[in-house]
Chain A
Amino acid sequence: MAGREEISLTGRVVAAISGAACRVELKNGHRMVAHTTRKNSLDLTRLNPGDELILAASPFDFSKARIVRKKTERKSDYEGSRIGQETL
């Protein structure tokens, strides 16, 4: 269906606009407004400038985008396996 295509983007938070939107900057320097959705009630107050977000935008309008989720760093394979102190 026309209008359903989405482009997946990664952007960095620049500043908060409101509790539900923030300004983000893409790698190419383009700035856009990123909104949360009701379905995805991400708490923007927990975001800091510089955090990376996964965004979805319409190919027809690059002024705004929807926040899909916060990009999290992959945990180490060994996270949660540490148990004691290593012997020499």
Chain B
Amino acid sequence: MSNIKTPAEQELMRAAGRVAARTLRDMANEIAPGVKTRDLDEFAAERMRALGGRSAFLGYRNYPRHTCISINDEVVHGLAGERAIQSGDLVSVDVGVTVEGYIGDNATTVPVGDCDKNTQKLVEVTEQSLYAAISCAVAGNRVRDISQAVQDLVEGNGFSVVREFVGHGVGRTVHEEPQVPNHVDTRRKSPELVPGMTLAIEPMVNAGRAAVKTLKDGWTVVTRDGKPSAHFEHTVLIRDGEPEILTWPDGKK
């Protein structure tokens, strides 16, 4: 099985991406003080079903929830539970949906109520870094060019890039080759981008230091220094020219 998608597969990826994006959009709109993360997760599961998909995460490597909801110092893979969202929280939601065997994967971060200025800036920089990365996701470039774009913007603003977790190819499975790190390691080879690749580009940015740890539940990743972290993600189709963002709620972008 190749990670290079045929035009027919690209069409299926588009459909999956659209469902993932709509689910994420609707889920983000539900985020409000007092909402329990478990209810948010259930809501997303229902939206996926209504839109003709199902969670790509549930059961993948035994992941126990439909989505990831990571609050404040939680970086990624936060597990939904009885925790209620509070005003001032920074909530990241990550949604992966399977539609007809193909997967769309995207994430966003929403500040709830009044966040402090630095947190606000963290969210803005992380989102900008995602789009900076996407603009580098052109056939002929290397994965490293994507990583460089993220790292330069993030570190230029005084934040740090999570090293241990990386973006990835996505298609018929949640994870395909190649890995898409958000930082540059010149000791490693960096694959060339080829038209037809579909990548989940996902900068994870910490307000404080880059170090993270995984909690005892085996999933939740938190910052070691306890400072907040933001996460944005799109599934992107590599083309010769401008890349196509597949996880867009209404048609092409």
1/0 per position for A13-49, CB-CB distance to B under 8 A? 0000000000000000000000000000000000000
| 8 Å CB contact of B179 from A76, A77, A83, A88 | A83
| 8 Å CB contact of A87 from B177, B189, B190, B204 | B204
1/0 per position for A53-86, CB-CB distance to B under 8 A? 0000000000000000000000011111111111
| 8 Å CB contact of A85 from B165, B188, B200 | B165
- Chain B residues near A79 (CB, 8 Å)? 189
Interface size of B in residues (CB-CB distance below 8 Å)? 32
Q: How far, in Å, is B139 (CB) from chain A's closest CB?
A: 15
CB-based contact A88/B181 at 8 Å? no
The answer to whether A87 and B191 touch (CB under 8 A), given A78-B177, A81-B143, is no
> What are 19 sample pairs from A and B whose C-beta atoms fall under 8 A apart?
A76-B177, A77-B177, A77-B191, A78-B191, A81-B143, A81-B178, A83-B185, A84-B165, A84-B179, A85-B164, A85-B166, A86-B179, A87-B94, A87-B165, A87-B167, A87-B231, A88-B57, A88-B60, A88-B76
Q: Which residues of B contact A (CB under 8 A)?
A: 57, 60, 63, 68, 76-77, 94, 96, 105, 143, 163-168, 174-175, 177-179, 181, 185, 188-191, 200, 202, 204, 231, 233
